[in-house]
């Protein structure tokens, strides 16, 4: 199995194959609107504006598994992100990243790069960096700022 064998539902309801992103560098993030890390949306949007023309895609997956910090509907989440942070990168439908209903994409990501204390996602804004070949090359804690990933993104874009 590869990352490209997965698909996910966009916040608009459309199903999107991850294979559509083949050849791109991906930054995949579980997000939430009512989290202390929510301002990272602004930095993610800055990365997207800077690097998307060179092949970066940011895929954001809202998740309500951590202290009920993503209570809204998919439409409400999309509106919040667009209105407050000018988000233009793809927002997907709300998913689970842990437990029995873990989204298959996140099950794959976690199987490729475990965390410091095991594979479970510990909180919102955990980030996975995927190279152009579909390999998960990095997993980053919520406290890792999007800006601090610029060097690694540049490296992957240059390959």
Strands 25-31, 127-130: pairing kind: antiparallel
Quote the CA–CA distance of 43 and 60 in Å, as a whole number. Answer: 13
Question: Among 18, 32, 35, 130, which one carries the catalytic annotation?
Answer: 35
**Considering just the CA atoms, what is the radius of gyration of the chain in Å?**
14
Verify whether residue 63 is a known catalytic residue: no
**Edge-to-edge strand list for the sheet holding 127-130:** 56-62, 25-31, 127-130, 136-140
Phi, psi of 12 (to 5 degrees): -85, -10
What are the catalytic residues?
Answer: 35
């Amino acid at each position: 199995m590869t990352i490209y064998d997965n698909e996910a539902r966009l916040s608009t309801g459309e199903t999107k194959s991850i294979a559509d992103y083949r050849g791109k560098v991906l930054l995949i993030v579980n997000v939430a609107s009512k989290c202390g890390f929510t301002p990272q949306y602004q930095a993610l949007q800055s990365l997207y504006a800077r690097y998307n023309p060179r092949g970066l895609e940011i895929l954001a997956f809202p998740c309500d598994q951590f202290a009920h910090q993503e209570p809204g509907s998919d439409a409400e989440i999309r509106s919040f992100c667009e209105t407050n942070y000018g988000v233009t990168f793809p927002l997907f439908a709300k998913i689970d990243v842990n437990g029995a209903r873990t989204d298959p994409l996140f099950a794959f990501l976690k199987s490729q790069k475990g965390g410091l204390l095991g594979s479970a996602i510990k909180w919102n804004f955990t980030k996975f960096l995927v190279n152009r070949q579909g390999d998960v090359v990095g997993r980053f804690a919520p406290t890792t700022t999007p800006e601090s990933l610029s060097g690694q993104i540049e490296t992957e874009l240059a390959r």
